[in-house]
Structure 1
Amino acid sequence: MAPSAPSVPPADHSGTGPGTGTRIAFGDCPASVPAPPAPDRVECGTVRVPLDHGHPEGRHLDIAVSRVPASGTPGERRGVLLVNPGGPGGSGLSYAVTKRAKLPERVRRAYDVIGFDPRGVGHSAPADCGDMGGLFDTPGADPVPRGREAERAYLASQRRMADDCARGVGEALPHLSTTETAHDMDDIRAALGERRIAYLGVSYGTYLGAAYAALHPHRTGPMVLDSAVGPWDWHEFDVRQARALLRQRQTLFGWLAEGGDEGSGHSGRSAHSAHSGRFGLGGTAEEVRASYAKVRAGLAARPVDGFGPAEFDRAVYRALGRTERWAGLGEGLRAYLRDGDVAGLRPEDPFDGPESRNYEAANRTVKCADGPGPGPSRVLRDIRALRRADPLPVLTGLEASACAYWSHTPAHRTPLSAPHAPPVLLVASEHDPVTPIEGARELRAGLPPGSRLVTLRNDYSHGVFASRGDDCVDGTVAAYLTGDGAPDADVRCEGPGLPRP
């Protein structure tokens, strides 16, 4: 079941609606929101918004909002900085606290940091898709279909997932979209009494930010889009991500083999190397790949304590996005090969917990509400192409496949082009496999003139600003947010490379 609504103080709805005088009655936060370090404080409230902004007289939702006030003097304050952690499906209520703690001090002094749970997420009318076509079964079915019968079973599971969401989400299904959430952001702006908002979005948060700038260009202040989703339909994005994950995994294999060229992801050792590598998985990328394939095949043949190929692929998907997780994955592979232990491969957070169930439901619901989905033939064609590229693809991120059977198919895609907003600052890791850098480059084509791209070269992780600890990136973004404007040209910062042994 999705989490129940928290005890959040109600908004003051004495005005006639969003943007017409309504203010947020801030008070205590739900217990799930951490307290910031003293003397900072966090406070929470709600904003009432229409389910369908095109028909504001109809059903309404309460959007949960958090605020950590600026720590500087009144003269230093520049306004509010809305933040979104990504997804779709990521909860932002606590993110105002956790992300703010990592921001450069000059940004913390200048802005009230505002977090919110987007509609369908967390404490904002959470979406519930029930069993989602068996997604939470343990062990799950092998997510890589091989052969006609397996492909039919895969499509059937996607149809069941779509049907489960239609039943669980009901009349809200077509309205849990990025477009509606972008309008909610403007309702939050109005309820805060601000003429404009500054914004920091990571991953899916960049897609949401671009949509806000397209819909409300004259309400948009400084906007940072970190690790950008490209301006493609969601299924196309998922497929591009799957290809990037294969490139990243090859780099991982070389790193696990030890002694490889850090820039290329290849081992550099002879194919006949007698070395067992850093983790005992092999001394070349090819030998490590063989060990990896052996682990996956073993779990497919005989799952361990509910941990099979689907669970394994999810663990790999998670590890590939952040290099600090690579050593743990290597140790987990070694432990399984040595004694059949899968403890090192399991993520700390249970996949089928309430927060995860809500995340997965909101993720599909938003993606499928954002534009026309792929047809079943396209889904199978792309899966076959990925299998031809590599017999062991990681298909965990093909979340928009369910949109092939969605009951409310939108006729138009979410608008992302925003030529009339102020210049935007994009930030990207050169080798990010989750949101490949070509997404930032293509998204920028529809953004205002003067928008710039800050690239962290020789970096392999997802999420950059106030995340990777890079002074060049953090300083450039902080200067932009606090009044210096966008740089005169794109900025290239030198990243850390692959992890050291």
Structure 2
Amino acid sequence: MTTYRHRGVAIALSLAAATTALTATAVPAAQARSAGAEAPVLDWKPCADDTTGRECAQLPVPRDYADPQGPSLTVAVSRLRSDHPDKRRGALVLIPGGPGGSGVQQVAERGAALREETGGAYDIVGLDPRGVGGSTTASCRLSDDDRMLVHLRSWPGPGGDISENVARSRRIAEACHRNGGADLRSFTSRNEARDIDRFRQALGERKLSAYGVSYGTYVGAVYAQMFPQHTDRWVLDSNGDPDPTRVERGWLANMAPAADLRFPDFAAWAADPAREAQGLRLAERAEDVRPLVIALAAKLDSEPRKTAEDGVLLTGNQLRQALQLALESDGSFPMLARLVKEARDPKAVPVLPPPLAGPLSDQDAAAVVAVLCNDVSWPKSVPSYERAVAADRIRHPLTAGSPVNVLPCTFSKDAPAEKPVRITDEGPSNILMIQGLRDPATPYFGALKMREAWGDRARLVTVDHGGHGMYRDSGNACGDRAVTTFLTTGVRPERDTYCAS
């Protein structure tokens, strides 16, 4: 896996605040809409520049499942066939994080390892959600500056001022409304679940198994609620709170306290004497690392530094965003410590991590903004965001109020076409959740809300580990074994289970 997984970059754009949105439980009509058009035959061909045997195809899907004979979009799909046909059980769909992650890329990066781990029990398959990668994309025609992650993420200005965030969010919302069209308005979590079911039909499978990670756990949950009869063995890794009155708006709000819970792992690492030889030790005591980072970010607010990337400054918000990205993986700690060191050295030229060095592509920015705004209604009161930011900056200075700040959805002119799905305990008991205790993106306390919603449908494997993404990412043999055992035998722990570090 790469150090900066797209799922983390994209989920960082979620937001939270109070809402008046209504909720709904999925109904059979939603299933009927997915099956309204006859499933196509996929024209599989070797994926470009691939030597592993992966195949790729294009899946036509209705833009609007309520009008299956109307305009269609294409969804890029990929598969890596089982290398043990005699042991094949079915298809395992990889549901990527985000919004904005690529399932086709997930098959390329993880497919061979998962096929080996599961003994060839599955064809490993994935799709690029609408707006992503090789699927139908849309454009908001945003400027390079508006597509910088530190701006899409809506970090408040020095002192907590959000006036620039308000102006930028309004500008982005107007551009997406003007340029995105009906395709952009169709980019939703519900439609991703429907597209997965259409993919199932095209594969000729009665049921699918799944491995969803981060935002993919929510899409996986939506699918399991809408199409429970088509789920086989369902694994959800790094889960968010599925509260249907908030959804994406709630995920980022949770990231402020989550960063506080995860930061001590980095502080202990950065104060370890072993860092001395690497030139990465930030303090002699772990408790001194947090105030050092907070003070450095405040200094950069007023005195930004030139970086190795021409025209891109290291600001306080760039440092804070780098921190949030780095907290997702222990493997990113050296990058963050090095950036802090460079920022404190007047003679150094800081090197920004790739996600902060340049803008997101226009299609990626559009896809992320679309799903956030299309899934749920957002509060419209700017003063409510001002109050929330002011309070959150005091409680959680590491994130400086960004998790509750205004986003383009506040000014969206297009109301969500459908209400969010309510996750319930009605359905087969075939879900295994795995969750790290100190996850900075989808925190443990939010995952417990998902666990509660499932009732007896799920079992939870808790891993005593920091970071985002547990299965085959954390190095925890107990957690890995629980997931692999479930995928290969169907056996889950009899009750919720704890895996020590």
TM-score for the superposition, normalised by structure 1: 0.83
Q: Are the aligned partners of 2:131 and 2:184 in contact in 1 as well (CA < 8 Å)? A: no
Structure 2 counterparts to residues 48-447 of structure 1, below 5 A: 48-72=60-84, 74-103=85-114, 105-131=116-142, 134-136=145-147, 143-146=155-158, 150-232=161-243, 233=246, 234-258=248-272, 279-300=280-301, 301-305=303-307, 306-309=312-315, 310-347=317-354, 350-354=357-361, 357-375=362-380, 376-393=382-399, 401-410=407-416, 412-417=419-424, 419-447=426-454
Q: SS where residue 58 of structure 2 aligns?
A: strand
Alpha-carbon distance in 1 for matches of 2:364, 2:242: 22
Distance 2:71 2:162 in 1: 40
Paired letter, 2:481: G
Q: Does the CA contact (< 8 Å) of 2:428 and 2:457 recur in 1?
A: no
- 2:435–2:447 CA contact under 8 A, matched in 1: yes
| Corresponding residue SS for 2:443 | coil
- Which of structure 1's runs of 4+ aligned residues deviate more than 4 A? 16-19, 137-142, 275-278, 394-400
Amino acid at match of 1:120: G
* 1:454 aligned to which of 431, 451, 461: 461
Q: Structure 2: how far apart are the matches of 1:362 and 1:192?
A: 26
Structure 1: tracts of 5 or more residues without a match: 1-15, 261-274, 496-501
3-state SS of 1:82 partner: strand
Q: Secondary structure at 2:407's aligned position in 1?
A: helix
Larger helix percent: 2
C-alpha contact 2:435 2:463 (8 A) present in aligned 1: yes
Matched, 1:465 2:471: yes
Are the equivalent residues in 2 in contact too, given 1:140–1:308 (CA < 8 A)? no
Whether contact under 8 Å (1:64, 1:124) holds in the other structure is yes
Paired position in structure 2 for 1:11? none
Q: Does the aligned pair in 2 maintain the 1:430–1:456 contact within 8 Å? A: yes
Tell me if the contact between 1:258 and 1:277 (Cα under 8 Å) persists in the aligned partners. no
Tell me the distance in 1 between the aligned counterparts of 2:151 and 2:456.
47
Inter-partner Cα distance in structure 1 for 2:436 and 2:256: 17
1:176 partner SS: coil
- For residues 238-288 of structure 1, the C-alpha deviation after alignment (integer angstroms, 9 at most, x for no partner) is 11112211332344234322379xxxxxxxxxxxxxx99973532234533
Partner letter of residue 89 of structure 1?
G
Given candidates 23, 30, 34, the residue that maps to 2:41 is 23
Q: CA deviation at 1:381?
A: 2.9
Contact 1:452 1:487 in 2 (8 A): yes
- Structure 2 Cα separation of the partners of residues 133 and 241 of structure 1: 26
Aligned to 1:3: none
For residue 402 of structure 1, report the CA deviation from its aligned partner. 2.2
Output the CA distance in 2 between the equivalents of 1:276 and 1:45. Answer: 50
Quick one: distance in 2 between partners of 1:399 and 1:340? 35
CA distance in 2, matches of 1:399, 1:370: 18
Deviations 1:55-82 (A, max 9, x none): 112110010000000111x331010000
* Letter aligned with residue 112 of structure 2: A
SS at match of 1:446: helix
Q: Quickly say closer, same or farther: Cα 1:383–1:461, change in 2 above 3 A.
A: same
Structure 1 residue 483: deviation in Å?
2.6
Do the aligned partners of residues 235 and 276 (structure 1) sit closer, same or farther apart at CA in structure 2, a change above 3 Å counting?
Answer: farther
Change over 3 Å in CA distance of 1:104–1:494 after alignment to 2: farther
Structure 2 gaps, min length 5: 1-33
SS in structure 2 opposite 1:430? strand
SS of 2:110's equivalent? helix
Q: 1:46 to 1:337 in 2, by over 3 A?
A: same
Write the letter of the residue equivalent to 1:326. Answer: F
Return the letter of the residue paired with 2:368: N
Tell me, in whole angstroms, the C-alpha distance in 2 between the residues paired with 1:417 and 1:423: 13
SS of residue matched to 1:387? helix
Post-superposition offset of 1:392: 4.5
More off after superposition, 342-351 vs 198-207:
342-351
**Paired amino acid for 1:453:** L
d(CA) in 2 for partners of 1:104, 1:340: 49
1:483 aligns with 2:474: no
**Aligned counterparts of 2:48 and 2:405: Cα–Cα separation in 1:** 30
Deviates more, 1:342-351 or 1:418-427: 342-351
Identity %: 29
Per-residue deviation, residues 37-67 of structure 1 (Å, max 9, x unmatched): xxxx100001110111111121100100000
- Normalising by structure 2, we get a TM-score of 0.83
Give the partner amino acid of 2:365.
Answer: E
**Residues 450-486 of structure 1, C-alpha deviations (whole Å, 9 max, x = no match):** 41001111x1110011222322112211111123332
The DSSP-based 3-state class of the residue aligned with 1:449 is helix
Aligned partners of 1:139 and 1:308 also within 8 Å? no
Q: CA RMSD in A?
A: 2.9
Specify whether residues 28 and 102 from structure 1 end up closer, same or farther in structure 2 by C-alpha distance, changes over 3 A only. Answer: closer
Letter in 1 for 2:284: G
- Number of equivalenced pairs: 455
Instruction: For 1:399 and 1:139, locate their aligned partners in 2 and report how far apart those are by CA, in whole Å.
Output: 13
Comparing 279-288 with 472-481, greater Cα deviation is found at 279-288
The answer to whether the 8 A contact 1:49-1:62 is kept is yes
Give the CA deviation at 1:374: 2.8
